[in-house]
Amino acid sequence: MNISHTVTTGFILLGFSGITNHQVFLFPIFLCTYIVTLCGNLTIIITYKLSPSLHTPMYFFLAHFAFLEILYVSCTVPKMLSDLLSECKVISFSGCAIQMYCYLLFGGTECYMLAAMAYDRYNAICHPLLYTVIMSEITCIRHVVGSYVIGAANSLIQTAFTFSLTFCGSNEIDHFFCDVPAFLELSCQDIWVNILVVFVIGGCVLIGSFIVIIISYVEIISKILQLRSASGREKTFATCSSHLIVVTIFYGSAIFMYFTPRSSNRDGKNSVVSLMYTVIAPLLNPFIYSLRNRDVKLSVINIFLQLKEF
């Protein structure tokens, strides 16, 4: 299949083809997951907006991260839900390009948003006296804007390189969305340059931000261990534990997906692993941050009590 034929007919997303007879039962599961994810992250955003006590850098980043999660999950799940109920799982050439660009944009932005959140915790714990000066409002805005710029650059480069290929043979993508590793399998060209782009550009985004997080938490843990009070150590670590859990889920599955040998992505595991950071992580994040954070829980309760009064 040449490139012109691909433009005309589009691609076929195989999705969860290994369980064809049960796909209709997956629809209500993923639909509920999507709705809960939207409601959970929207609750965090509304709670931040309506709670003056949460107007700090930590919750500023958390609200923006929740907004990113809504955009991120909306890139893939609606199309997946549609395909679960349809026998024609076709996505156009341009539709696939747009989905890949948006997915990489919001995913890359999330990486550096998580790094910014780690940097914020580092300054709050290691430089408490200078915290308000270091993490000023303009600094926080710059971190958010910078995250989007890095995400956009990564997305543009990877999408452009991927869709500059010539495609031939099958137009079936062994995935539930247009992801780069699964997409490269369709090309009849030598894709070593594309693999290099994934490792270098993707590595700079994924591994680069991960290194920032690791360095921040090495310093944080070192500071925590210096505290004499056991209750102080526990309280300080509690403020970081939610972020650490989110980082572990997101980076663990993403690194496994993008930096394992190509042959390991041919056995159908790519769809299952991708679910962890495209569906499961956005679902769990609101619960992780709210249930493990006393300030957020109290703010949510206060908002509900105020609503009852009306």
Could you give the strand order of the β-sheet that contains 172-173, starting from the edge strand earlier in sequence? 90-91, 11-13, 172-173
pLDDT reading at 168 higher than 80: no
Q: What is the enclosing helix (H) or strand (E) of 172?
A: strand 172-173
Distance CA 105, CA 108 (A): 5
Smallest CA-to-CA distance from 205 within 126, 122, 59, 103 is with 103
> Which residue's entry shows tokens 């005309």?
8
Distance CA 193, CA 204 (A): 16
Phi and psi torsions of 90, nearest 5°:
-90, 140
Quote the pLDDT of residue 4.
41
Least confident range from 31-40, 109-118, 280-289: namely: 280-289
Smallest CA-to-CA distance from 278 within 159, 110, 83 is with 110
pLDDT tens, position by position, 72-107: 999 999 999 998 888 778 999 899 999 999 999 999
pTM of the model: 0.88
Q: What is the DSSP letter of 306?
A: H
- Looking at the structure of the chain, the number of domains it has is 1
List the domain range (segments joined by +) for residue 28. Answer: 3-309
Distance CA 14, CA 33 (A): 21
Average pLDDT over every residue of 45-66 = 93
Domain CATH number, residue 271: 1.20.1070.10
